[in-house]
Amino acid sequence: MELRQVAGSGVMRADQVFRICEDLDIDSETLMLKLVPLAAAFGVAPVSSFRVGAVARGQRRNGNGFSALYLGANMEFPQQALCYSLHAEQAAVANAWTNREPGLTSLAVSAPPCGHCRQFLYELHGCGTLSILFPGGARNNHCELDISELLPGAFGPMDLGQKGNMMAATSTPQPLRLQRDNRDHLILRALDAACFSYAPYTGNHSGCALQFKDGSIFSGSYAENAAHNPGLSPLHAALSNFRMACGPGAAQDISRKLARCVLVESAAAISQRAMVTTLLSSIAPGVAPEYYPARIITV
């Protein structure tokens, strides 16, 4: 079976991982590293022309002890500052998160993650046991390091009185309600994404949903970081989930494919609204973002 065919949707199910590992007589770590170049094919790099891939392994296991794999790739935005760029590791996490994985056990990359991504990954639920795999070394021709080894003396959520359970929101979403009731399906998808967001530092629970002219809908959740900058905006997550689900090249001509963009967020000292407007203007200037405030429901 062609790996490219199986990984074309950005997700390899646990049963597929088991079958391929059996057919090729390899372990799942080796398979993850083989998938990194395929993940990089999803990259959008109009600025650097340098595509980067990453492959994340989820925590959930099937009866054979295998877990699903989630591909991610970098994404750059023309005419925008470099700080708007999405890293491959962030994209892989967003892919796993939108598929409701409660956490990750390992992440494969072509080289050790940059400092930005090390800080981002340190915010994950169970990050103390997260292994980073990359080529080289004596163990099965690859190196394996814990994120704590890659980020010594780390500043993280515990320094701010938080547990750092970014993906744990999968099992404990924050209940939200639109300030004005609305039955529009796209708005409700954005609301659902906001409920699954991770915003322990500001309470700005937010989600973004994109509807394309073919009727397909993709959403993404906001993720904060103790160090602020290495977070993940809801629009970045939604855009990344769209291209990872639709295959390499899906992001081409997005301005002609995108019909609507909805942002839902709860009131806080910060807002995603200006960022969404700015970023959307660079990829789909003909689409105006729709904005719907929500309020937190105390349970």
Inter-residue contact 208 to 190 (CB < 8 Å):
yes
Count other C-beta atoms under 10 Å from residue 180's C-beta.
Answer: 8
* Cα–Cα distance measured from residue 15 to residue 153, given in angstroms and rounded to the nearest whole number: 38
- Which residues are within 8 A (CB) of 290 and not within 5 positions of it... i.e. 6 or more apart? 187, 260, 261, 262, 263
Inter-residue contact 254 to 281 (CB < 8 Å):
no
Q: Is 89 a catalytic residue?
A: yes
Q: Are strands 104-109 and 131-135 parallel, antiparallel or unpaired?
A: parallel
Inter-residue contact 75 to 91 (CB < 8 Å):
yes
Give the DSSP letter of residue 7.
G
Among 10, 8, 12, which Cα is nearest to 24's? 12
The catalytic position among 22, 29, 76, 89 is 89
Residue 163 burial by Cβ neighbours in a 10 Å radius (0-12, 13-18, 19+): exposed
Angle at 162 between CA 159 and CA 168, to 5 degrees: 140
* Cα–Cα distance measured from residue 30 to residue 187, given in angstroms and rounded to the nearest whole number: 41
What is the enclosing helix (H) or strand (E) of 3?
Answer: helix 3-6
Phi, psi of 220 (to 5 degrees): -150, 150
The residues assigned a catalytic role are 89
